[in-house]
């Protein structure tokens, strides 16, 4: 299995609605935020971890392939391939080629592992675009907002259990980067585009059902060539 080239997606991921990716900080601070966003420890600027994008796209593609029920909700692994219908088996293998599969101990099918080979995709952390940070500085605005939420008692019409959540506001943009290792015989770009399209349609981070985390690609290039029109043409119904 020979590595022939490495292709690079670059672009700008823009927030259509506020984004919350939690920091995991469970401490309560007087006057602080209940649910802070993840921030770079040096700059204190919010960012989107590459792992969040990878996990979301992988999960969406697994749902699209119809394998989630067969894996009991766990990520698709090498051991699951043999139990899939033959018609969807090659696509499932392609997903493992792109995202990798966890080691499965002594019972692992080494022939299948060798056939699939190394993980092809590398997702990089997305920092805030400098132009947007500078614009917020010129306007003397913060890089995050605090959104107040509560639960409404349906009978009394009274707000209860107030809480606040920190978000990166709509309009913010992040620098996006993704690399694809191409080996001889690979034909994986179509699945990558499907994953990016699914990300636009479903969003990132927490509280998506309450309107958080809708994103869009304001710019997208592959090896320097504009591929945003190609992403716009993706029809997931036809792809299925």
Cα–Cα distance list, 225 to 3, 47, 180, 221, 230 (Å) = 22, 25, 15, 5, 11
Decide: residue 168, CB within 10 A, 0-12 exposed, 13-18 middle, 19+ buried.
buried
The pLDDT tens digits of the residues spanning 125-180 come to: 999 999 999 999 999 999 999 887 766 767 776 666 667 889 999 999 999 999 99
Residue-range domain boundaries for the chain: 3-18+48-129+177-239
Note the pTM of the prediction, 2 decimals: 0.87
Specify the pLDDT at position 155.
72
Specify the pLDDT at position 9.
98
Specify the pLDDT at position 30.
39
- Kindly give the parts of the chain with pLDDT less than 50: 26-32
Specify the pLDDT at position 65.
92
Specify the pLDDT at position 74.
86
For the chain, what is the radius of gyration of the CA atoms? 20
Task: Report whether 200 contacts 15 (CB < 8 A).
Answer: no
The pLDDT tens digits of the residues spanning 34-46 come to: 688 999 999 999 9
Specify the pLDDT at position 14.
97
Specify the pLDDT at position 83.
84
């Amino acid at each position: 299995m020979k590595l022939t080239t490495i292709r690079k997606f670059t672009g700008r991921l823009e927030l259509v609605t506020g984004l919350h990716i939690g920091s995991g900080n469970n401490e309560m601070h007087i006057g602080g935020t209940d649910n802070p966003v993840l921030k770079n420890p040096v700059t204190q600027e919010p960012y989107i971890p590459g792992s969040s994008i990878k996990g979301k796209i992988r999960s969406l593609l697994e749902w699209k392939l119809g394998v989630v029920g067969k894996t009991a909700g766990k990520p698709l692994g090498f051991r699951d391939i043999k139990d899939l219908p033959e018609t969807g088996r090659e696509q499932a293998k392609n997903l493992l080629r792109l995202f990798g599969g966890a080691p499965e101990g002594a019972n692992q099918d080494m022939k299948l592992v060798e056939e699939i080979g190394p993980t092809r995709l590398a997702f990089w952390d997305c920092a805030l675009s400098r132009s947007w940070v500078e614009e917020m500085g010129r306007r003397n605005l913060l890089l995050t907002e605090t959104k107040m939420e509560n639960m409404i008692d349906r009978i009394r019409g009274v707000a209860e259990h107030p809480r606040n959540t920190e978000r990166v506001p709509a309009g913010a943009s992040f620098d996006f980067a993704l690399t694809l290792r191409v080996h001889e015989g690979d034909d994986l770009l179509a699945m990558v585009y499907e994953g990016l399209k699914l990300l636009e349609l479903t969003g990132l981070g927490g509280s998506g059902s309450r309107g958080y985390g809708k994103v869009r690609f304001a710019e997208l290039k592959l090896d320097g060539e504009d591929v945003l029109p190609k992403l716009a043409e993706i029809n997931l119904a036809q792809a299925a």
